[in-house]
């Protein structure tokens, strides 16, 4: 096996030429690629007790709960972010098929733009239990708008899911109240005691309906925004310096390996 130092001295011109050509080609491609800017919005989970009437209107129980949720409360939201629903809405809101200069028309353009937005977006739960929405875009002013909109869409979807149970209970209470009220007048004329019991029951229903209506109208937040996304002054992609350094190192190793093989072929076997 030839001495590596002697090999480098003998083949240094060829090795250097390969490194230079590789760096020039890679650098040219990197500089021609459009710059992308990263924007991040951060939120923490709100406590789920805020959507539970039995806890809200029971002061003894409410005092036991924090205003913040746990990191586990974010798992379902991260799962929702894997669906296309949020990205389709945001794509339509910002006309991203025009921004991405899609050649397709109609639904084809919408679906392709949605897929590209989803590719440029990352929704994750950080090690500190925060929800982060990261969006890359060539427009540094559009990137934060997209990140904030995605976070808002996730908030609205899970607010609706959270309130669905309260709305169903409210509907059932109103139906039951109307059934009791429809028979209350006849009961009052026939039996005062029975009628009084019905009136008390109606008052209880009215109280419950008022509480559930408050829960439905208030729409407690699922997420508490800690930091909204803002424009970045520096592009995050492509990382030109890192790419060029990596290219130089890899091309040097490749060229040196090729020189080693060629030299071994020239060396006669003993």
pLDDT surpassing 70 at residue 53: no
pLDDT surpassing 60 at residue 187: no
Kindly report the average pLDDT of the chain as a whole number.
80
Same domain, 227 and 247: no
Say what the pLDDT of residue 61 is: 44
More confidently predicted of 241 and 158 = 158
Same domain, 129 and 3: no
Is 139:189 a contact under the CB 8 Å cutoff? no
Highest mean pLDDT among 32-36, 56-60, 192-196: 32-36
Same domain, 72 and 147: yes
Residue 22 located in a structural domain: yes
Is 226:9 a contact under the CB 8 Å cutoff? no
Residue 93 located in a structural domain: yes
Same domain, 144 and 262: no
Residue 198 located in a structural domain: no
Say what the pLDDT of residue 43 is: 94
Residue 209 located in a structural domain: no
Is 35:237 a contact under the CB 8 Å cutoff? yes
Same domain, 63 and 153: yes
Give bridge partners of residue 37 from the DSSP assignment.
Answer: 137
What are the tokens at 265?
């072929």
Residue 171 located in a structural domain: no
Say what the pLDDT of residue 151 is: 95
pLDDT digits (tens, 9 = 90+) for 115-124: 999 999 999 9
Taking CA atoms, 156 is separated from 33, 69, 163, 254, in Å, by: 36, 17, 10, 53
Domain with 44 in it: what CATH number? 3.30.1890.10
Same domain, 152 and 270: no
Count of domains in the chain? 2
Same domain, 139 and 106: yes
Same domain, 7 and 93: no
Residue 203 located in a structural domain: no
Residue 170 located in a structural domain: no
CA dist., res. 89 & res. 113, Å (int):
11
Same domain, 149 and 77: yes
pLDDT surpassing 80 at residue 219: no
Same domain, 130 and 104: yes
More confidently predicted of 60 and 161 = 161
Same domain, 58 and 135: yes
Q: What is the DSSP letter of 130?
A: -
Length of the chain: 270
pLDDT band at 189 (very low <50, low <70, confident <90, very high): very low
Same domain, 46 and 155: yes
Taking CA atoms, 245 is separated from 126, 172, 237, 254, 259, in Å, by: 30, 67, 15, 14, 21
The domain containing residue 28 runs over which residues? Answer: 1-33+240-270
pLDDT digits (tens, 9 = 90+) for 75-101: 889 999 999 999 999 999 999 988 988
Residue 181 located in a structural domain: no
């Amino acid at each position: 096996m030839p001495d590596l130092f002697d090999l480098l001295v003998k083949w240094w011109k060829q090795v250097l030429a390969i490194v230079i050509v590789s760096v020039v080609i890679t650098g040219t491609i990197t500089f021609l690629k459009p710059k992308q800017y990263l924007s991040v919005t951060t939120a923490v989970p709100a406590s789920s007790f805020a959507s539970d009437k039995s806890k809200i209107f029971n002061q003894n129980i409410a005092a036991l709960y924090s205003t913040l949720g746990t990191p586990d409360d974010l798992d379902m939201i991260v799962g929702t972010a894997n669906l296309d629903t949020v990205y389709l809405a945001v794509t339509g809101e910002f006309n991203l098929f025009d921004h991405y200069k899609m050649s397709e028309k109609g639904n084809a353009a919408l679906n392709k733009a949605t897929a590209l937005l989803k590719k440029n977006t990352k929704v994750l739960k950080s090690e500190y239990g925060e929800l982060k929405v990261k969006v890359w875009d060539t427009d540094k002013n559009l990137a934060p708008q997209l990140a904030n909109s995605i976070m808002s869409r996730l908030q609205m979807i899970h607010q609706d899911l959270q309130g669905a149970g309260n709305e169903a209970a409210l509907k059932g209470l109103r139906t039951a109240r109307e059934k009791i009220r429809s028979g209350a007048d006849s009961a009052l004329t026939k039996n005062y005691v029975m009628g009084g019991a019905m009136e008390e029951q109606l008052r209880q229903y009215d109280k419950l309906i008022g509480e559930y209506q408050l829960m439905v109208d208030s729409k407690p937040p699922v997420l508490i925004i800690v930091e909204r996304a803002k424009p970045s002054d520096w592009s995050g992609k492509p990382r030109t310096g890192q790419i060029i350094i990596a290219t130089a190192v890899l091309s040097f190793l490749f060229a040196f390996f090729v020189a080693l093989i060629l030299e071994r072929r020239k060396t006669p076997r003993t």
